[in-house]
Amino acid sequence: MTATETETEWKAAWQPVVDAVGRDFADGEITWGGDPVERGAIRRYLEPLEFDCALHTDPEVARAAGFEDVTMPYTGVIAWTIPAAWRPGETLFDSADRDAQPVHTAINNADMPIGPKTTGFFGTDIEVDFHREVVAGERIGRRGRRLVACTPKETGVGRGAFMTWESEIVSDRGDVVGLIRIGTYAYVPHQKGEQS
Using alpha carbons, select from 76, 97, 96 the residue that is nearest to residue 177. Answer: 76
Distance, CA of 41 to CA of 136 (rounded, Å): 9
* pLDDT above 80 for 6: no
Using alpha carbons, select from 2, 110, 154, 80 the residue that is nearest to residue 71. Answer: 80
Burial 75-102 (b: 16+ CB within 10 A, else e): ebbbebbbeeeeeeeeeeeeeeeeeebb
Task: Kindly state whether residue 184 falls inside one of the protein's structural domains.
Answer: yes
Task: Kindly state whether residue 46 falls inside one of the protein's structural domains.
Answer: no
Residue 124 to residues 1, 10, 189, Cα–Cα distance (Å): 23, 21, 16
Task: Kindly state whether residue 98 falls inside one of the protein's structural domains.
Answer: yes
Give per-residue pLDDT as tens, 75-125.
999 999 988 888 888 888 888 888 777 776 666 555 678 889 888 888 899
Using alpha carbons, select from 35, 57, 34 the residue that is nearest to residue 46. Answer: 57
Residues forming a β-bridge with 120 = 187
Please give the mean pLDDT across all residues of the chain.
89
Domain boundaries, position 122: 7-37+77-189
Count of structural domains within the chain: 1
Task: Kindly state whether residue 72 falls inside one of the protein's structural domains.
Answer: no
Counting every residue written for the chain, the total comes to 196
Task: Kindly state whether residue 29 falls inside one of the protein's structural domains.
Answer: yes
* 195 band by pLDDT with thresholds 50, 70 and 90: low
CATH number where 144 lies: 3.10.129
**Per-residue pLDDT, 193:** 63
Q: What is the pTM of this model?
A: 0.82
Task: Kindly state whether residue 129 falls inside one of the protein's structural domains.
Answer: yes
* pLDDT above 90 for 23: yes
